[in-house]
Structure 1
């Protein structure tokens, strides 16, 4: 099996790719070839950074030393169950479902915290959930998925990675 990049190299690949994309988007915007609002640029950047540094596919190794888990600081332990649920380079390293597993897991963590806060402090007023439009969500989705796909490309994972494995299992039966 080919050697895959370390977490540091993955981060450098994503930073380099982001730099090229940002420069290209800036030039294209200045030449009126592309229209990117500051809010869209910020949303893309935040999602790309979160996908690179906090929600990397390697969180499936979170019971060990993983850069993404360390970037969570004291809260890194929250990703250990995720690492125990998914085998390395399995479902968590697929192109569509893999990134969704991390978002779903994060959503469950947030829901548990909110539920606990409401139970312990029933009078606490939490901020409302903002209404999100496609114009806001699209840059988040593109930034997040692009950061994930760059990781998978560097690991040598093809877009049909999970599909091929599942198809082989079905053929054996």
Structure 2
């Protein structure tokens, strides 16, 4: 089993290789900068902050420590998912972490709003959200999933191609 450092080294090596290939073929590939930045950013987040090993968050794992004092937010995730269980699957595993983080964000946002109203304060900034273009969203998703898949490959967990073929029939 690779350590957290080995997982990170593998992911960074693959990213460096991909960056080299991109640099050599940048005119041919012509990937717009926002898409490249979205991919690399989400890839790095998936490598360092939101990793499959957060299912061990009740212990001291590197990705949890990187959250600083917010690392405790991942402990319930570790209680929900056994190590190398559902959290270490190819499609659902990464999605569980995103949904968990989104749920935690909603709860904390709601608590913050309740606190602001209880104290009689008014939000200083009015939140306005404009979604990014679809191609940037896909680059974010792809970057995150590729980082997760490299982790799983390093753990010796391969996609179950046979089950995919049987579902298509």
Q: CA deviation at 1:133?
A: 2.4
Counterpart-to-counterpart distance in 2, 1:74 and 1:117: 18
Counterpart-to-counterpart distance in 1, 2:19 and 2:126: 35
**Which residue, out of 5, 10, 15, partners 2:7?**
10
Counterpart for residue 156 of structure 1: 156
Q: Structure 2, unaligned stretches of length 5 or more?
A: 165-169
Q: CA deviation at 1:126?
A: 4.5
Counterpart for residue 45 of structure 1: 40
Counterpart-to-counterpart distance in 2, 1:24 and 1:57: 27
Counterpart for residue 131 of structure 1: 131
TM-score (norm 1): 0.87
Counterpart-to-counterpart distance in 2, 1:23 and 1:127: 39
- Shifted more, 38-47 versus 146-155: the winner is 38-47
Counterpart-to-counterpart distance in 1, 2:105 and 2:139: 22
Does residue 100 of structure 2 align to residue 105 of structure 1?
yes
Counterpart for residue 28 of structure 2: 33
Counterpart-to-counterpart distance in 2, 1:53 and 1:60: 14
Q: Structure 1, unaligned stretches of length 5 or more?
A: 165-173
Counterpart-to-counterpart distance in 2, 1:145 and 1:130: 24
Aligned-CA RMSD value: 1.6
TM-score (norm 2): 0.89
Counterpart for residue 168 of structure 1: none
Counterpart-to-counterpart distance in 1, 2:132 and 2:36: 16
Work out the number of aligned pairs and report it.
158
